Amino acid sequence: MAETVALDPVDLHILRLLQNDARTTYRDLAAEVGIAASTCLDRVARLRRSGVILGHRLALDPARLGRGLQALLSVQVRPHSRELIGPFVERIRALPESRALFHLTGPEDYLVHVAVADTADLQRLVVDEFTSRREVARVETRLIFQQWECGPLLPPSPQVRLTSDH
């Protein structure tokens, strides 16, 4: 398990702001947080070195790229063995339709977020790239009607203890 990094309120404020807009300049970030730009630069560099900040990502609209239909595929692999997991994961990650891949507990082994052109393209993907594979025992498809981003991601707050007056 990864080691937790100690963050103070200034670090948390920086992280909150950067998650809302990763293109914010250090000068604007420092002014918003109330510290010097050089201090802000040092803090962000420390957050990167410690692995809290992993990088910056470009968000794209799948529909504008001709992939207007998104779905979640629940996949059961049998046998669920190490010899199959590596090649299966690499194959799914290499598919241009794959957006995210999760290894799960429970009846399904994987959850795959895909973006395709239409229902015919989704059917082709499921039949040709999933159910045609010997190790895939079952695939369930769920269409995504709408998606929202959540966040920002911050460490859990300290537990608040409730007391009773008994």
> Does domain 62-144 bear CATH number 3.30.70.920?
yes
Q: Is cis: bond before 156, omega within 30 of 0?
A: no
pLDDT at residue 161 greater than cutoff 50: no
Contact (Cβ atoms closer than 8 angstroms) between residue 135 and residue 64: no
3-class SS shares of the chain: helix, strand, coil, % to 5: 40, 20, 45
Q: Is the pLDDT of residue 164 over 80?
A: no
Q: Are strands 136-144 and 110-116 parallel, antiparallel or unpaired?
A: unpaired
Q: Where are the domains of the chain?
A: 9-49, 62-144
What is the average per-residue pLDDT within 105-134? 97
For 64-93, what is the mean pLDDT? 95
Residue 162 — very low, low, confident or very high, per pLDDT cuts 50/70/90?
A: very low
Q: Say how far apart CA 149 and CA 151 lie, in whole Å.
A: 7
pTM value is: 0.82
Check residue 6 and report its DSSP letter. Answer: P
Give the Cα separation of 129 and 37 in Å (integer).
50
- CB-based contacts of 110: which residues, under 8 Å, 6+ apart? 73, 74, 75, 77, 88, 92, 101, 102, 103, 104
Decide if pLDDT at 159 tops 80.
no
Distance separating alpha carbons of residues 74 and 141, to the nearest angstrom:
6
Residue 118 has pLDDT above 70, yes or no: yes
9-49: CATH, from 1.10.10.10, 2.170.190.11, 3.40.190.290, 3.40.50.300: 1.10.10.10
Q: Would the pLDDT of 50 be above 60?
A: yes
- Structure confidence at residue 105 as a pLDDT band (50, 70, 90): very high
